[in-house]
């Protein structure tokens, strides 16, 4: 075995045990699709775009590696200096995975979501999402893009 190959195999084996941080739970700013003809891809989400006590998912947030920013129903509406609403980074997931897909490892993650993060459906269940995709594909694509799953890493809602 050549020394280069031995070095490469050693590096792969060593990194196989490395823990990779994800940005799940890190603060981000919510965006929405920009008005047609505006010349922009997205606009900031402001407080008047939201209803208190509801989940909101934002696709296209440049603050997150997976471009998904969430404000869950239990989060208070927080705004940045420009009035844009803040949430936390998320990613698509599948429930019941063997390894927790929603573990919070980012040192900058919001304390308020660290202990309540899980893989859960946001907004719609799988059947409703499939029905919308079938009956109105244009609205579906404009709203959800290429996403085919309702499951994302998000804070579990508290029960009264």
Q: Which tens digit of pLDDT belongs to each residue from 84-106?
A: 999 999 999 988 877 788 989 88
pLDDT at position 137 is: 87
Question: Which phi-psi region, left, alpha or beta, contains residue 48 (left: φ > 0; alpha: ψ -120 to 50)?
Answer: alpha
- Looking at residue 83, its pLDDT comes to 92
Asked if the model's pLDDT at residue 16 lies above 60, the reply is no
> Does the pLDDT at position 13 exceed 60?
no
pLDDT digits (tens, 9 = 90+) for 40-82: 988 999 999 998 888 999 988 999 999 899 999 999 999 988 8
Mean pLDDT, range 135-158, rounded to an integer: 82
Q: What is the mean pLDDT of the segment spanning 101-112?
A: 88
Report pLDDT for 125: 76
Could you give the percent of the chain with pLDDT greater than 90? Answer: 31
d(C-alpha 59, C-alpha 31), whole Å = 7
pLDDT at 123 (0 to 100): 73
Please indicate whether residue 160 or residue 151 has the higher confidence score (pLDDT): 151
pTM of the entire predicted model: 0.77
Q: How far apart are CA 19 and CA 13, in angstroms?
A: 13
Q: Phi and psi for 129 in degrees, rounded to 5?
A: -65, -45
CB 28 within 8 A of CB 86: yes
Measured CA to CA in angstroms, residue 147 lies from 2, 68, 74, 118, 141 at distances of: 45, 11, 24, 19, 8
Q: Is residue 2 over pLDDT 60?
A: no
- How much of the chain, in percent, has pLDDT values that exceed 70? 85
């Amino acid at each position: 075995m050549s020394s280069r190959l031995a070095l490469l195999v050693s590096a792969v084996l060593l990194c196989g045990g490395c823990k990779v941080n994800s940005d799940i739970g890190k603060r981000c700013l919510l965006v929405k699709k920009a008005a047609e003809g505006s010349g922009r891809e997205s606009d900031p989400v402001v407080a008047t775009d939201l209803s208190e006590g509801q989940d909101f998912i934002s696709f296209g947030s440049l603050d997150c590696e997976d471009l998904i920013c969430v404000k869950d129903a239990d989060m208070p509406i927080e705004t940045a200096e420009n009035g844009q609403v803040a949430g936390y980074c998320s990613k698509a997931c599948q429930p019941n995975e063997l390894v927790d897909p929603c573990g919070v490892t980012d040192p900058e993650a919001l304390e308020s979501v660290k202990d309540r993060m899980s893989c859960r459906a946001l907004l719609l269940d799988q059947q409703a999402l499939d029905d919308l995709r079938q009956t109105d594909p244009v609205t579906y694509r404009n709203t959800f893009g290429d996403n085919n799953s309702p499951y994302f890493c998000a804070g579990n809602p508290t029960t009264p």
